[in-house]
């Protein structure tokens, strides 16, 4: 299955992926209208380690996802390898946020959880963070099964 | 006045025809003249010519210079130059038949010459090189004199007119040759100069050519490095010099020359045997500037044989026929059928594939 | 003295989403975010108009425009002329510039037009017929020789085989980044052409691309050792460069860091100054000795290129080089680029490559020695049309560097000498170097060359030529427009309509 992978060697820490993610999942057609003057809650986040190395983190769609197991409301599920979240079922307990070892599940600003669904559930159909990365640091490719 | 051939480059279309006896039988010019008639529309009356091999057996040891002079003064100037380097063996008019189709003729002379040994020793060159140098000098520097044939036991005959008329004008039915080539020209403007007609000759090489090569200036600028002067700016002229350079000066054989001027594509070379690949790659690497591109079908005549060759894409027509000891080559099959009405074996050689015909050793 | 900045940053606040990518990506620190007012602010005096921020701004909220605030100019004293005087009055220093001569001097490529076949001979369709662009650079023998059995002796002097007549010109590791070199090396290998190390040595990671590498030996001898010479497909002796004929090179110590210093074999942080002349070459006979020293060192396996700047007497110089044992001459015109050159030299020394090339090709032919050497033409070859014109004038191949940099992302801001290239090319700052991902850089170079190769084939096909060797020196395929008799005579072409 194709997943999003990050090549920190090429990450510039420009944070464009976060804005592209926020826009892609805003449901709007204009980035300015979607993001201007708003706090963004992207599902991919650029982190910086102690050496100043930057890299983007998003859901790895684990083979054996602990978030799905921990969800008390049955909002998280795995379909065709992609871990999806049903916002209508989420009760906002944020257990998933706590258990995810990668910090890839986050709160969406309204109290419920959100996570990367590879842009499969929005209107784009292909990951917009990958498409918008100016340096090829985020890729969407087949590399065999992840743990 | 419109510029003469040589002052301007004139593209032309053409008809070519040739016949050769592998047994060295000598035939008069009747048949080759006739062969040009069905291809009448491939010429436009602005140039026709013939080359004949084996026509001067009694003078076979001497270079036969065919020369056009504009007037007596030119003639005398040119003869003075010739006498500095050659013994003049015979100096005569080339006999012609007056006819209304052929007009504005220059003075047409045939001069048999023999290089002076003292000159050869002084210049440290062989007799062929001397002939080439002096002919080049006359054609590029003496205004109003033009040597249009300079081989041994062969000669070219050319004029402004349709080729069948030119043949009759020169009374070619009175010459006997083991090999004839013919050319009818369709130039795209009207210089009306006899020297511009074909065949084009250098020593015993003669070329008749149909096409307009796109590599002209690349070929010209290369070959001019080696003492040749392309005074006429025609394809035929530059191809003749290339032939002379590769065959006489570099010592390539005919197949090797064909692999230079109509070199196989690199993709074809890749598929050849190791040995052949090496050889073809070498020839393309050493002589890249002598690759000839654009459409051409040429017939190269030389002492004892001829070679016919198409460009590597075969952008011009050319067919070959064979019957008994005879080989016929022409732009159109109709021309061959005039020369040999019952011929069975006719084929079209592939682009870049040379057809080489040699007369039996000792028969010419 | 303070001036109004040369460029203005125009920010459309109604489109700005405060993503701050402009701030993060500007090495010149033009942009910053004011947390109090929640607005983006900028210091335009630092802007070099490299367009990095404009390119990355996701909402097109930014543009950089040339400022219209000018000093009181006149036809003799332009804004720039006046400012340069002020700057020199202030600093007492030589002005530095980068990339090629930007002045409005004639670009002869643009005054030359190409022929096409009509009626008398057929154009050839490159999509349907083979169309060959392979070239071999190197000395060709005057006479063939035969083995005792009569077969051709096919041994040749070393030849550089290229799939198309374009190569990436010399840019040193140091003047450009590791990733730029990686991109060039990988692209050259994939394309079957060559790139050139420039005078900075060859990083050990790139020895594997040796078959597609030209290793340069310049006056500073930086990075030159036996393995280096033997690693490449050809050796280039750099006598001069079009952007700065008559002077050497200067890599500031700030760029001579880490692997750059190691590869150049100099102490870290020391200035790498190449002398103006090779101090073992004060004349043509000395050049011959260096050519043969390099050939000896590499057992005559590699062709030797001699690169010279196009200067007034270029034809005679080239004739001398052709007799010096060199296999290839590279001529670099006055528009050629540079990572840093004194402005006065870049803008006033040397001659146009078109005239130099035509003069050299003709001179070598007049002397009957054109076959002794191949000619590479460089110094602002910008497109496939320029390549075709260069080949028709007489070049065997072209060098491109500015066009290659543009393919890798360069926006021609001409600020290479600052070492703060926002595109990761002309810089050694690790955070900037990583902006050029060689996966992307090499692919874009391959794309550019592939596109040019298609265009070269189209142009050749139109002329009825199906192999590049029939185009070389084929000046009949060119016509000039708006050129004087003298210019036409030097170019060896007729005027359009003739």
- Give the total number of structural domains in chain A: 2
In a domain, B109, yes or no: no
List pLDDT tens digits, range C38-84. 999 999 999 999 999 999 999 999 999 999 998 999 999 999 999 99
In a domain, C113, yes or no: no
Burial category of C357 from C-beta neighbours within 10 Å (exposed 0-12, middle 13-18, buried 19 and up): buried
Are B16 and B167 a contacting pair, CB within 8 Å? no
User: Cβ C135–B281 below 8 Å, yes or no?
Assistant: no
Question: Does the beta carbon of C434 lie under 8 angstroms from any beta carbon of chain A?
Answer: yes
Burial category of A63 from C-beta neighbours within 10 Å (exposed 0-12, middle 13-18, buried 19 and up): exposed
- pLDDT value of residue C227: 95
Considering only CB atoms, A135 lies closest to which of C14, C17, C437, namely C437
Residue B14 is a catalytic residue:
yes
Q: Are strands B326-330 and B12-21 parallel, antiparallel or unpaired?
A: antiparallel
- pLDDT value of residue A147: 47
Q: How confident is the model at residue A145 (pLDDT cuts 50, 70, 90)?
A: low
Query: Alpha carbon of B253 to those of B261, B291, C155: distances in Å?
Result: 13, 16, 19
List pLDDT tens digits, range B279-318. 999 999 999 999 999 999 999 999 999 999 999 999 899 9
Which SS3 state, helix, strand or coil, does residue C42 take?
Answer: strand
| Beta-bridge partners for A141 | A3
Which of the pair, C159 or C121, is modelled with greater confidence? Answer: C159
In a domain, B101, yes or no: no
User: Cβ A19–C19 below 8 Å, yes or no?
Assistant: yes
Are C319 and C369 a contacting pair, CB within 8 Å? yes
In a domain, B96, yes or no: no
Low-confidence ranges of chain B (pLDDT < 50): 1
Chain C residues inside the 8 Å CB shell of B225: 365, 368, 370-371
Phi then psi dihedrals of residue B278, to 5 deg: -60, -45
Question: Does the beta carbon of C225 lie under 8 angstroms from any beta carbon of chain A?
Answer: no
Residues C367, C478, single domain; the answer is: yes
Q: Are strands C62-66 and C374-378 parallel, antiparallel or unpaired?
A: unpaired
User: Cβ C440–A135 below 8 Å, yes or no?
Assistant: yes
CATH at A43: 3.30.70.20
Which SS3 state, helix, strand or coil, does residue C412 take?
Answer: coil
Residues A16, A3, single domain; the answer is: yes
Instruction: Return residues 46-75 of C near A (CB < 8 Å).
Output: 55-56, 58-59, 61
Top residue of B259, B282, B288 to mutate, by most chain C CBs within 10 Å, is: B288
Considering only CB atoms, C19 lies closest to which of A10, A16, A136, namely A16
User: Cβ C437–A15 below 8 Å, yes or no?
Assistant: no
Our CA-based measurement puts residue A123 at a distance from the nearest CA of chain C, in whole angstroms, of 19
Sequence-distant (≥ 6) Cβ neighbours of residue B58 within 8 angstroms = none
| Beta-bridge partners for A113 | A107
Residues C71, C141, single domain; the answer is: no
Q: What is the mean pLDDT of chain C?
A: 95
C392 vs C210: CA distance, rounded Å: 30
In a domain, B145, yes or no: no
- pLDDT value of residue B193: 80
Are C391 and C374 a contacting pair, CB within 8 Å? no
How far does Cα B43 stand from its chain's mean position?
17
Residue of chain C minimizing CA distance to B8: C498
Q: What is the mean pLDDT of chain A?
A: 92
Residues C295, C396, single domain; the answer is: yes
Residues C74, C145, single domain; the answer is: no
Residues C230, C150, single domain; the answer is: yes
Residues C80, C169, single domain; the answer is: no
In a domain, C99, yes or no: no
In this structure, how many other beta carbons lie within 10 angstroms of the beta carbon of residue C323? Answer: 14
In a domain, B73, yes or no: no
- Give the total number of structural domains in chain B: 1
Residues C47, C171, single domain; the answer is: no
Residues C88, C139, single domain; the answer is: no
Residue of chain B minimizing CA distance to C476: B217
- pLDDT value of residue B185: 86
Domain limits at A70? 64-115
- Structure tokens that stand for C437 in this block: 């991902």
Q: Are strands C160-162 and C374-378 parallel, antiparallel or unpaired?
A: unpaired
Which SS3 state, helix, strand or coil, does residue C454 take?
Answer: helix
In a domain, C98, yes or no: no
Sequence-distant (≥ 6) Cβ neighbours of residue B238 within 8 angstroms = B213, B216, B219, B220, B223, B230
Considering only CB atoms, B251 lies closest to which of C120, C122, C144, namely C144
3-class SS letters over chain B: CCCCECCECCCEEEEEEEEEECCCCCEECHHHHHHHHHHHHHCCCCCEEEEEECCCHHHCCCEEEEEEECCHHHHHHHHHHHHHHEEEEEEEECCCCCCCCCCCCCEEEEEEEEECHHHHHHHCCCHHHHHHHHHHHHHHHCCCEEEEECCECEEEEEECCCHHHHHHHCCHHHCEECEEEEEEEEECCCCCCHHHCCCEEECCEEEEEEECCCCHHHHHHHHHHHCCCCCCCCHHHHHHHHHHHHHHHCCCCHHHHHHHHCCCCHHHHHCCCHHHHHHHHHHHHHCHHHCCCCCEEEEEEECCEEEEEECCCCCCCCEEEEECCEEEEECCHHHHHHHCCCCCEEECCCCCCCEEEECCCCCC
Considering only CB atoms, C21 lies closest to which of A9, A16, A36, namely A16
Domain limits at B328? 12-55+153-358
CATH at B267: 3.60.20.10
Residues A33, A18, single domain; the answer is: yes
Domain limits at C16? 7-93
Residues C162, C286, single domain; the answer is: yes
For C100-126, what is the mean pLDDT?
A: 93
In this structure, how many other beta carbons lie within 10 angstroms of the beta carbon of residue C33? Answer: 15
Beta strands in C115-212 (DSSP E): 135-137, 160-162, 166-168, 195-196
Query: Alpha carbon of C301 to those of C199, C298, C397: distances in Å?
Result: 21, 6, 21
- Structure tokens that stand for B321 in this block: 């026929």
B57 vs B364: CA distance, rounded Å: 9
In a domain, B195, yes or no: yes
- pLDDT value of residue A56: 94
In this structure, how many other beta carbons lie within 10 angstroms of the beta carbon of residue C23? Answer: 18
C365 vs B241: CA distance, rounded Å: 17
- pLDDT value of residue B6: 63
Residues A12, A29, single domain; the answer is: yes
List pLDDT tens digits, range C406-419. 999 999 999 998 99
In a domain, B182, yes or no: yes
List pLDDT tens digits, range C205-246. 999 999 999 999 999 999 999 999 999 999 999 999 999 999
- Give the total number of structural domains in chain C: 2
Top residue of C25, C31, C425, C437 to mutate, by most chain A CBs within 10 Å, is: C437
In a domain, C107, yes or no: no
Our CA-based measurement puts residue A16 at a distance from the nearest CA of chain C, in whole angstroms, of 7
In a domain, B121, yes or no: no
| Beta-bridge partners for C238 | C307
For C101-110, what is the mean pLDDT?
A: 94
How far does Cα B115 stand from its chain's mean position?
23
Residues C38, C159, single domain; the answer is: no
List pLDDT tens digits, range C360-408. 999 999 999 999 999 999 999 999 999 999 999 999 999 999 999 999 9
B190 vs B126: CA distance, rounded Å: 39
B262 vs B311: CA distance, rounded Å: 6
Residues A47, A4, single domain; the answer is: yes
Could you tell me which chains touch chain A, where touching means 3 or more CB pairs under 8 A? Answer: C
Residues C42, C142, single domain; the answer is: no
C17 vs C11: CA distance, rounded Å: 11
- Structure tokens that stand for A106 in this block: 């986050």
In a domain, C100, yes or no: no
Are C52 and C411 a contacting pair, CB within 8 Å? yes
- C65-71, long-range: CB within 8 Å, 24+ apart, which pairs? C65/C7, C65/C8, C65/C10, C66/C6, C66/C7, C66/C8, C67/C4, C67/C5, C67/C6, C67/C7, C67/C8, C69/C4, C71/C3
Are C437 and A136 a contacting pair, CB within 8 Å? yes
Residues C188, C86, single domain; the answer is: no
CATH at C14: 3.30.70.20
Pick the last residue of a domain from C36, C70, C93: C93
Q: Please, what is the angle between helix B235-243 and helix B216-223, to 10°? A: 50
Residues A51, A68, single domain; the answer is: no
For A76-81, what is the mean pLDDT?
A: 91
Are B159 and B197 a contacting pair, CB within 8 Å? yes
In a domain, C110, yes or no: no
Residues A26, A11, single domain; the answer is: yes
Q: What is the Cβ-side half-sphere exposure of residue B46, based on CA atoms within 13 angstroms?
A: 19
- Select from C55, C17, C11, C6 the least CA-distant residue to C31: C11
Pick the last residue of a domain from C93, C126, C143: C93
User: Cβ C467–B282 below 8 Å, yes or no?
Assistant: no
Our CA-based measurement puts residue C350 at a distance from the nearest CA of chain B, in whole angstroms, of 27
Q: Are strands A2-6 and C213-217 parallel, antiparallel or unpaired?
A: unpaired
Could you tell me which chains touch chain C, where touching means 3 or more CB pairs under 8 A? Answer: A, B
User: Cβ C156–B285 below 8 Å, yes or no?
Assistant: yes
């Amino acid at each position: 299955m194709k997943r999003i992978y990050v090549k920190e060697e090429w990450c510039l820490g420009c944070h464009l992926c976060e804005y592209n993610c926020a826009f892609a999942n805003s449901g709007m057609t204009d980035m300015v209208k979607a993001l201007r003057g708003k706090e963004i809650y992207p599902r991919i986040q650029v982190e910086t380690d102690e050496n100043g190395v930057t890299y983007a983190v998003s859901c790895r769609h684990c083979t054996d996802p602990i978030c799905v197991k921990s969800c008390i409301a049955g909002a998280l599920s795995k379909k065709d390898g992609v871990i999806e979240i049903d916002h209508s079922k989420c009760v906002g307990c944020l257990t998933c946020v706590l258990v995810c070892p990668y910090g890839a599940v986050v709160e969406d600003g309204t109290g419920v959880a959100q996570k990367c669904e590879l842009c499969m559930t929005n209107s784009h159909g292909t990951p917009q963070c990958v498409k918008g990365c100016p340096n090829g640091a985020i890729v969407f490719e087949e590399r065999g099964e992840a743990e | 006045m419109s510029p003469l051939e040589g002052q301007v480059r004139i593209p032309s279309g053409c008809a070519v025809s040739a016949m050769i006896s592998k047994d060295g039988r000598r035939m008069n010019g009747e048949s080759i003249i006739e062969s040009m008639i069905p291809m009448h529309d491939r010429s436009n009356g602005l140039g026709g010519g013939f080359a004949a091999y084996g026509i001067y057996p009694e003078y076979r040891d001497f270079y036969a210079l065919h020369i056009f002079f504009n007037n007596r003064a030119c003639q005398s100037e040119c003869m003075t130059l010739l006498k500095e380097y050659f013994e003049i063996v015979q100096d005569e008019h080339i006999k012609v038949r007056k006819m209304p189709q052929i007009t504005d003729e220059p003075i047409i002379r045939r001069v048999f010459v023999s290089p002076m040994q003292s000159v050869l020793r002084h210049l440290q060159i062989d007799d062929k090189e001397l002939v080439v140098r002096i002919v080049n000098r006359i054609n590029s520097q003496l205004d109003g004199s033009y040597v249009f044939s300079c081989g041994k036991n062969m000669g070219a005959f050319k004029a402004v007119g349709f080729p069948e008329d030119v043949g009759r004008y020169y009374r070619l039915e009175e010459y006997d040759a083991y090999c004839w080539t013919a050319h009818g020209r369709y130039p795209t403007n009207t210089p009306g100069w006899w020297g511009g007609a074909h065949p084009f000759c250098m020593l015993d090489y003669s070329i008749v050519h149909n096409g307009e090569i796109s590599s002209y200036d690349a070929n010209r600028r290369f070959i001019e490095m080696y003492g040749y002067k392309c005074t006429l700016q025609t394809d035929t002229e530059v191809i003749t010099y290339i032939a002379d350079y590769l065959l006489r000066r570099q010592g390539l054989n005919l197949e090797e020359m064909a692999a230079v001027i109509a070199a196989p594509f690199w993709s074809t070379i890749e598929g050849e045997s190791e040995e052949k690949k090496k050889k073809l790659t070498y020839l393309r690497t050493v002589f890249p500037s002598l690759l000839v591109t654009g459409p051409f079908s040429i017939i190269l005549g030389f002492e004892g044989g001829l070679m016919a060759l198409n460009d590597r894409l075969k952008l011009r027509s050319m067919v070959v026929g064979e019957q008994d000891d005879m080989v016929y080559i022409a732009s159109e099959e109709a021309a061959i059928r005039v020369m040999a009405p019952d011929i069975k074996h006719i084929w079209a050689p592939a682009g870049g594939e040379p057809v080489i015909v040699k007369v039996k050793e000792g028969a010419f | 003295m303070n001036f109004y900045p040369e460029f203005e940053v125009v920010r459309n606040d109604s489109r700005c989403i405060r993503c701050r990518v402009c701030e993060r990506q500007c090495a010149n620190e033009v942009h910053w975010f004011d947390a109090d007012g929640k607005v983006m602010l900028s210091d335009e005096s630092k802007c070099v108009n490299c367009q990095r921020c404009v390119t990355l701004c996701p909402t097109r909220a930014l543009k950089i425009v040339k400022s219209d605030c000018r000093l009181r100019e006149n036809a003799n004293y332009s804004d720039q002329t006046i400012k340069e005087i002020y700057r020199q009055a202030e600093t007492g220093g030589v002005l530095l510039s980068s990339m090629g001569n930007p002045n409005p001097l004639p670009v002869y490529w643009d005054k030359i037009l190409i022929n096409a076949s009509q009626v008398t001979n057929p154009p050839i369709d490159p999509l349907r017929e083979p169309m060959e662009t392979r070239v071999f650079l190197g000395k060709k023998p005057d006479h063939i020789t035969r083995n005792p059995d009569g077969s051709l002796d096919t041994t040749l002097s070393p030849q550089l085989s290229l799939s198309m007549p374009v190569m990436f010109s010399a840019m040193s590791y140091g003047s450009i980044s590791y990733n730029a070199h990686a991109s060039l090396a990988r692209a050259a290998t994939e394309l079957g052409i060559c790139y050139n190390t420039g005078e900075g040595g060859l990083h050990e990671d790139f020895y594997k691309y040796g078959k597609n590498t030209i290793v340069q030996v310049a006056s500073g001898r930086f990075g030159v050792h036996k393995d280096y010479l033997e690693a490449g497909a050809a050796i280039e002796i750099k006598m001069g460069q079009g952007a700065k004929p008559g002077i050497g090179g200067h890599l500031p110590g700030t760029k001579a860091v880490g692997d750059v210093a190691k590869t150049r074999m100099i102490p870290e942080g020391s200035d790498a100054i190449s002398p103006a002349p090779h101090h073992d070459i004060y004349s043509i006979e000395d050049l011959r000795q260096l050519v043969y020293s390099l050939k000896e060192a590499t057992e005559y396996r590699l062709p030797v290129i001699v690169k010279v700047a196009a200067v007034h007497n270029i034809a005679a110089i080239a004739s001398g080089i052709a007799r010096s044992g060199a296999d290839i001459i590279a001529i670099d015109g006055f528009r050629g680029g540079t990572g840093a050159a004194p402005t006065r030299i870049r803008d006033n020394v040397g001659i146009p490559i078109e005239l130099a090339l035509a003069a050299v090709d003709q001179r070598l032919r007049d002397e009957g020695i054109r076959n002794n050497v191949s000619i590479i033409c460089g110094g602002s070859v910008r497109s496939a049309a320029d390549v075709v014109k260069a080949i028709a004038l007489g070049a065997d191949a072209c060098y491109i560097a500015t066009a290659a940099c543009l393919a890798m992302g360069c926006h021609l801001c001409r600020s290479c000498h600052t070492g703060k290239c926002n595109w990761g090319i002309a810089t050694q700052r690790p955070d900037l170097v990583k902006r050029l991902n060689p996966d992307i850089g090499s692919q874009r170079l391959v794309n550019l060359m592939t596109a040019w190769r298609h265009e070269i084939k189209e142009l050749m096909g139109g002329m009825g030529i199906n192999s590049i060797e029939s185009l070389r020196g084929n000046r009949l395929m060119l016509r000039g427009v708006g050129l004087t008799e003298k210019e036409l005579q030097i170019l060896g072409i007729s005027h359009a309509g003739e």
